[in-house]
Structure 1
Amino acid sequence: MVSKFRLHTALFLVSLIYAGTYSLAKDIMPHYMQPLGIVTLRISGAALFFALLKRIVAPNDKITGRADNIRAVASGLLGIALNQVTFFAGLNLTTPINASLLQTVSPIVVVLASAVLLSEKITPTRLLGILLGAAGAAALILSRPSTGKVPANLLLGNTYLLVNAAVFGLYLVLVAPLMRTYHAFTVLARIFLVGAIVVVPLGLPQAIAADYARFPLFIWGELGYMIFFLTILAYLLNNWALKFASPALLGVYIYLQPVLAVLIAVATGKDTFTLDKAWQAALIFLGVWLVGRKPKAAVEAAPSPAAS
């Protein structure tokens, strides 16, 4: 049995890594590198790392069967390529707090996807949660920043982040059976390879166009953070923690991540937290909490996407 301290440490570090990304990425984009350039470096670096790790740790493990291979390709397209492209494209156009709050709607998408793909029942409580979460997300997407200055394409950036949350929720449902069947490094190596095949041809021109000679030291540090901590370490810690964490514990850390993101964004002067964002966040959090509540009769009958 894994110790609670190690489990909480892993989940907290994952939340902290993701939370810091919202503010740190704003230093890099768009002044030093465009979004697709960052995504290209992240995915190509992680694809090489996980391919090597898979060869060392699980050399004989292979994804077999037409259905599982299709699922792996779909997971790579959604969870790696589209997920990371929409995240950085959206964050480039919106604010760190907006981005962090919009990403918390992923559990709502997980429930909707489970209802369609796994025939999981949507109860009245969950339906209310979906409506509240959607209302909070819509209000946040359409809101103006507290400074009164509306960044160009703010609505587009918020929409990208909503799409990001949706595709990540679908990815969690799709990848869960693969994680239960194969070694985690086998799955990660395959889905990052798929992501690299899609993204690298699109983002390589932006990665090459960056003027690396004028990067100050802190930008190199933040770029390294994006590649190692955000892409590699967070995936490793998250996949390890998912094997031992209960859905209730995962739910706690779903709410912790945007809280940490808000604190970091405010502390670094990247964003401000207002009363408007507070009530929008409250609607989203309440919606996610209601969606996360399973009816007693369905606890054993239906799989829990959050626990996979």
Structure 2
Amino acid sequence: MTDTNYKAHFALLGANIIYGANFLIAKGLMPEKIGASGLVLIRIIAAGILFWIVKLFVNEKVNKRDYILLALCGLFGASVNMLLFFHGLNLTSPIDASIIITATPVIVLIFSAIILKEKITTNKYIGIFIGAVGAIILIVHGKSAGGNSSFLGNLFVFFNSCTYGLYLVLVKPLMKKYKAITVVSWVFLFGLIFTFPFGINNLISTNFNAFTTNTYLAIAFVVIGTTFLTYLFNIYALNYVPPSVNGSYIYLQPVVSFILVSIYAFAYGNNEYAKDINWIKIASCVLVIFGVYLISRKKPLNFSKKTISN
């Protein structure tokens, strides 16, 4: 693996650690402080401004023929995707949401094979299978173990995975043609156009006087961390790894979410989240981590002897 590939994998690792923390942090904002649609609109506006500030230093024009594809990326990657996710998270538990997100790699593989004709290697099949086993165990056991999961919320998060998986595939050709900041800036601009009608009333009705310092810090994390940095990390990584590998790192999100919810549940005595924590889920998370390792591994797993040339 080259240095560039290592950097791409570190970028994906950092992005998904931030995503994992976002489940708990964003959940704490809704709906008491702000509604889901209003939070999404704040996220897109603020992060979009940051992207376009950076874009000012990059002089690159976009071909008119690519605006349609950029609009589709804005629709699926920065509008529908976020609205479905935050509305789903608002209704269900952080651990449930982080588990369901792991459906994304499978969706990415399907879209990659259909749209990009990407080859699916044996390692990816095995890694997806092992990671999926861990995720399925978490989902099935989650219902019997208690907690506050919601069918509608889980359904929203699943559809979010579908739209995000499609976005990862659609944006790949654009990344080969333009710089990362150019692509993501336009994605967020189109995302704002699609999101504005759904979020403006919710945002206007928000009582900002009730916001505390922690509220603003949480929103800053959602905007700067979960949006600005993670999109840049993912876009950068897509330059050097296939969409399926990018999507596979999403398996780390339930692990991070699980750890943070565990700390929140036991260190701060939150019984509601404590119901979702047990050894079966810990074992499942180990499977998830191993699945990510196999998917990111380029060399096939085999036990054949290497040929030595004289």
- Give the TM interval when normalised to the shorter protein: 0.7 to 0.9
Q: Which residue of 2 aligns with 1:177?
A: 173
Q: Which residue of 2 aligns with 1:70?
A: 68
Give the conservation status (yes or no) of the 8 Å contact 2:88–2:157. yes
Cα distance change, pair 161–247 in 1 and its aligned pair in 2 (3 A): closer
Q: Which runs of 5+ in 1 are unaligned?
A: 297-308
Q: Deviations over 1:85-138 (max 9, x none)?
A: 111111111111122222222221111002221234567886777677667656
CA distance in 2, matches of 1:245, 1:127: 16
Give the conservation status (yes or no) of the 8 Å contact 2:108–2:243. no
CA distance in 2, matches of 1:248, 1:180: 16
Q: Which residue of 2 aligns with 1:274?
A: 278
Q: Which moved more, 1:268-277 or 1:2-11?
A: 2-11
Classify the secondary structure of the residue corresponding to 2:109.
helix
Classify the secondary structure of the residue corresponding to 1:268.
helix
Q: Which moved more, 1:102-111 or 1:282-291?
A: 282-291
Cα distance change, pair 137–89 in 1 and its aligned pair in 2 (3 A): farther
Give the Å deviation of 1:141: 5.0
Taking structure 2 as the reference length, what is the TM-score of the superposition?
A: 0.78
Give the Å deviation of 1:247: 8.7
Cα distance change, pair 268–150 in 1 and its aligned pair in 2 (3 A): closer
Cα distance change, pair 85–143 in 1 and its aligned pair in 2 (3 A): farther
| 1:57 maps onto 2:57 in alignment | yes
CA distance in 1, matches of 2:145, 2:119: 43
Give the conservation status (yes or no) of the 8 Å contact 1:142–1:155. no
RMSD across aligned positions (CA): 3.6
Write out aligned runs for 1:96-115 (5 A): 96-115=94-113
Q: Which moved more, 1:129-138 or 1:42-51?
A: 129-138
The alignment covers a number of residue pairs equal to 291
Cα distance change, pair 157–287 in 1 and its aligned pair in 2 (3 A): farther
Give the conservation status (yes or no) of the 8 Å contact 1:108–1:288. no
1:264 equivalent among 245, 260, 263: 260
CA distance in 2, matches of 1:275, 1:126: 27
Write out aligned runs for 1:111-190 (5 A): 111-120=109-118, 144-145=142-143, 148=146, 150-151=148-149, 154-190=150-186
Taking structure 1 as the reference length, what is the TM-score of the superposition?
A: 0.79
Q: Which runs of 5+ in 2 are unaligned?
A: 301-310
Letter in 2 for 1:50: F
Give the Å deviation of 1:255: 4.0
Write out aligned runs for 1:235-246 (5 A): 235-243=231-239
Give the Å deviation of 1:48: 2.2
